[in-house]
Amino acid sequence: MSEEIIVKPNEEELHDEVESEEAEEEIAEPETLDELNSDESEEEIPEPETQDDLKSEEAEDDIIDLDKEENFAKQEALEEETSGEEKTEPEGEELKAEPESEETEDARKPSKEDLQKELKRVNNRKEYRNVLRNTIFVVVFVAALAVLISSFFITVLKVTGDSMTPTLDTGEIVIAQNSSGFEPGDLIAFYYNNKVLVKRVIGSPGDWVNIDENGNVSVNGVALEETYVSEKSLDPTDLEFPYQVPENRFFVLGDHRSASLDSRSSVVGCVTKEQLIGKIIFRVYPFGVFGGL
């Protein structure tokens, strides 16, 4: 067997070795600093590569986030569809289109003057319609009233001829009140051969009428004061006087005796109740002689 021989160094030798090692370490410090600087420079050179790597990593993270957002959006869309709330892009387009439509509506809004003109036109149309309706109503009402009154109460007549001058002249308009009872001196209207004649009542049914050669008239022996007569005359006549008036008839004469065809002639004769229209009570026209008769 071999024996290991251990030789113990001296203390002085150990001390010298330690000092030599420390001196070597101190001498090597500059080299270590340069080496450190070179190492740091070497580490700084590849920095751009690390930044690109970081950017790529960030881009990858963004892509992952986008994928997550898309998945999340899809999930929300599915949930909205199931809940019955539909939100689609066309709705967004419609929402975008709403301001445009509002702008067009604002552009189409009429001005204040246009509104005033339109309001005035509408009011004029309404007023015209009201006036027209009221006018038609008045015309219809007056016509109906005239027919009713003329049928049961009065008759409007226009005078033609000169047999009643100076009391009535041609062209005058008079009103006759429908009645069947008359007194001597009344003006009456009656039908004769599809014409309407106006004469003055002289004798009632049963009266005796006499006319002398000078045209003076008496009834039942009493002479009449006829201030309304012009040109007294016996003619034209074919009757014998005194003359008794038949029942239900009236003896009539015109005020213009020489020009009147009346009960003195058998052509006209006495007026029956069936021929009677009514008593002349009012003169409507001309306005200068407007009033009662």
Catalytic positions, written as ranges: 163, 199
- 3-state SS string for the chain: CCCCCCCCCCHHHHHHHHHHHHHHHHHHHHHHHHHHHHHHHHHHCCHHHHHHHHHHHHHHHHHHHHHHHHHHHHHHHHHHHHHCCCCCHHHHHHHHHHHHHHHHHHHHCCCHHHHHHHHHHHHHHHHHHHHHHHHHHHHHHHHHHHHHHHHHCEEEEECCCCCCCCCCCCCCEEEEECCCCCCCCCEEEEEECCEEEEEEEEECCCCEEEECCCCCEEECCEECCCCCCECCCCCCCCCCCCEECCCCEEEEECCEHHHCCCCCCCCCCCEEHHHEEEEEEEEEECHHHCEEC
Alpha-carbon dihedral angle through residues 238, 239, 241, 243, given to the nearest 10 degrees: -160
Q: Between β-strands 222-223 and 291-292, what pairing exists: parallel, antiparallel or unpaired? A: unpaired
